[in-house]
Amino acid sequence: MGIHQSYAVFGLGRYGTAVAKELVKGGAEVLAVDTDEELVNAASAEIPYCKCANITEAEVIRQLGIANIDVVIIAMASNLKASVMATMLCKEIGVKTVIAKCATDLDRKILNKVGADRVVFPESESGIRLAKNLLSSGFMDIMELSKDVSMVELPVRPEWEGKTLMELNLRKKYSINVVAVIEDKNVRIDIDPEMPLQPTMKMIVIADTAKLGKLA
Q: What is the pLDDT of residues 60-104, one digit of tens each?
A: 999 999 999 999 999 998 899 999 999 999 999 999 999 999 988
Residues of the chain with CATH 3.30.70.1450: 141-215
- Angular region, 19: left φ>0, alpha ψ -120 to 50, beta rest: alpha
Q: What is the pLDDT of residues 186-209, one digit of tens each?
A: 778 888 889 999 999 988 888 877
pLDDT at 214 over 70: no
Overall average pLDDT of the 132-136 stretch: 68
3-state secondary structure string, the chain? CCCCCEEEEECCCHHHHHHHHHHHHCCCEEEEEECCHHHHHHHCCCCCEEEECCCCCHHHHHHCCHHHCCEEEECCCCCHHHHHHHHHHHHHCCCCEEEEECCCHHHHHHHHHCCCCEEECCCCCCHHHHHHHHHCCCCCEEEECCCCEEEEEEECCHHHCCCCHHHHCHHHHHCEEEEEEEECCEEECCCCCCCCCCCCCEEEEEEEHHHHHHHC
Fold type of domain 141-215: Alpha-Beta Plaits (3.30.70)
pLDDT at 43 over 90: yes
Tell me the pLDDT band of 53, cut-offs 50, 70 and 90.
Answer: very high
Q: pTM of the predicted model, to two decimals?
A: 0.65
Q: What is the pLDDT of residues 159-173, one digit of tens each?
A: 999 999 999 988 888
- With a pLDDT cut of 90, the percent of the chain lying above it is 49
Tell me the pLDDT band of 138, cut-offs 50, 70 and 90.
Answer: low
Tell me the pLDDT band of 137, cut-offs 50, 70 and 90.
Answer: low
Mean pLDDT of the chain: 85
Q: Which of 57, 63, 66 is nearest to 9 (CA)?
A: 66
Residues of the chain with CATH 3.40.50.720: 6-135
Residue 143: the pLDDT is 62
- Among the four given CATH numbers 3.40.50.1950, 3.20.20.70, 2.40.440.10, 3.40.50.720, the one describing domain 6-135: 3.40.50.720
Contacts of 174 (CB under 8 A, 6+ apart): 207, 211, 214, 215
Tell me the pLDDT band of 124, cut-offs 50, 70 and 90.
Answer: very low
Tell me the pLDDT band of 149, cut-offs 50, 70 and 90.
Answer: confident
| Comparison of pLDDT for 210 and 98, the residue scoring more | 98
Least confident stretch, 32-41, 119-128, 139-148, 191-200: 139-148
Q: Which of 94, 25, 17, 87 is nearest to 56 (CA)?
A: 87
Is residue 83 within 8 A of residue 102, CB to CB? The reply is: yes
